[in-house]
C-alpha cells in the first residue's frame, strides 16, 4: 500500500522514537502526523506535529493507521490516576479519534504480563487498554508485549528505570538461561515488529517479546 497516512502518539518515547524514524524512512508512507503534548524538534518533509490535549482531542484528518506508544511509569506520573490518564485514557482517545478519521489498522506498545485481571496495577491497566482496543472496530490490531527495554533514555531526557538497568545486567550474564519472553529487548526491535505488522494486519496479532527479539535480530 503506497501513500499511507499515519498517526503516531508517543513519538518522544523510547519505542515511539524508533517507530517515527521507521515511518519517515518508509517510501510507502507519505505523511506522519505526530500527536503530543509538546512539539518535536525534528523536521522532515513527511512529518506534521500537532500539540494536543489528549483529554479533548480535535477532529483528526484522514489517515490509514495509528501507532499508540504513549506510556509513563507510576514514579514519573506521581499517582495511579495520573498514570491511567496517560497509559489508558490518552491511548484510547487517540485510537477512537483515529478510527473516526478513517484509520483501519492500529499498533499498540503494551507490556509483558498485560492482563485486565492482573493483581499488578501496571499490568492491569495495560490489559484493560488492550481489551478496550479489541472492542473497537479496527480491521487489524497489532499488539507488542515487550519485556524489559534496552535503549538510551538519557538522550530523551527520561529518567533511567532501575528495573531495566538490573534486567539488562542480569540478561547479559544469564541470557541463555532466561526464557525468551523474559529477556531484555532493544526498543528498536519492538518498533521494527510493529512497523512490519501494522500496515498489513488483519484481525488481532499479539507479538511476544521472544518473537520480536528473534525476528528483528
What domains lie within the chain, and their CATH numbers?
A: 4-215 (3.40.50.720)
Q: What angle do CA 157, 161, 162 make, to 5 degrees?
A: 140
The answer to which of 31-45, 69-83, 140-154, 182-196 has the lowest mean pLDDT is 140-154
Write down the pTM of the prediction.
0.88
CA distance 200 to 154: 33
3-state SS, 80-139, equals HHHHHHHHHHHHHHHHHHHHHCCCCEEEEECCCCCCCCCCCHHHHHHHHHHHHHHCCCCC
Q: What's the pLDDT score for residue 152? A: 62
| Confidence at 73, pLDDT banded by 50, 70, 90 | confident
Find out whether 70 and 94 touch, Cβ atoms under 8 Å.
Answer: yes
DSSP conformation class of 148? S
Average pLDDT on 78-104 reads 98
Q: What's the pLDDT score for residue 155? A: 56
140: which strand partners? Answer: 105, 203
Tracing cell 498489513 back to the chain, one arrives at 200
Task: Give the helix/strand (H/E) hosting 3.
Answer: none
**Residue 172 CA: distances (Å) to CA of 161, 168, 176, 178, 199:** 17, 6, 9, 10, 33
pLDDT digits (tens, 9 = 90+) for 2-51: 799 999 999 999 999 999 999 999 999 999 999 999 999 999 999 999 99
pLDDT digits (tens, 9 = 90+) for 159-214: 555 555 555 555 555 556 666 777 889 999 999 999 999 999 999 999 999 999 87
Per-chain mean pLDDT for the chain: 89
Amino acid at each position: 500500500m503506497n501513500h499511507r497516512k499515519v498517526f503516531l502518539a508517543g513519538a518522544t518515547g523510547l519505542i515511539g522514537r524508533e517507530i517515527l524514524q521507521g515511518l519517515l524512512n518508509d517510501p510507502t508512507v507519505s505523511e506522519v502526523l505526530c500527536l503530543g503534548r509538546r512539539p518535536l524538534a525534528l523536521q522532515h518533509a513527511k512529518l506534521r506535529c500537532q500539540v494536543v490535549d489528549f483529554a479533548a482531542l480535535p477532529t483528526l484528518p484522514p489517515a490509514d493507521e495509528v501507532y499508540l506508544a504513549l506510556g509513563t511509569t507510576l514514579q514519573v506520573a506521581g499517582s495511579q490516576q495520573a498514570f491511567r490518564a496517560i497509559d489508558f485514557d490518552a491511548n484510547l482517545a487517540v485510537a477512537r479519534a483515529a478510527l473516526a478519521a478513517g484509520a483501519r489498522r492500529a499498533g499498540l506498545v503494551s507490556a509483558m504480563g498485560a492482563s485486565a485481571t492482573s493483581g499488578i496495577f501496571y499490568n492491569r491497566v495495560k490489559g484493560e487498554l488492550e481489551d478496550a482496543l479489541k472492542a473497537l472496530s479496527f480491521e487489524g490490531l497489532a499488539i507488542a508485549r515487550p519485556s524489559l527495554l534496552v535503549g538510551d533514555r538519557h538522550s530523551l531526557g527520561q529518567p533511567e528505570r532501575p528495573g531495566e538497568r538490573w534486567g539488562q545486567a542480569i540478561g547479559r550474564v544469564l541470557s541463555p538461561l532466561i526464557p525468551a519472553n523474559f529477556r531484555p529487548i532493544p526498543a528498536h526491535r519492538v518498533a521494527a515488529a510493529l512497523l512490519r505488522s501494522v500496515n498489513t494486519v488483519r484481525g488481532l496479532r499479539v507479538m511476544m517479546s521472544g518473537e520480536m527479539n528473534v525476528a528483528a535480530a
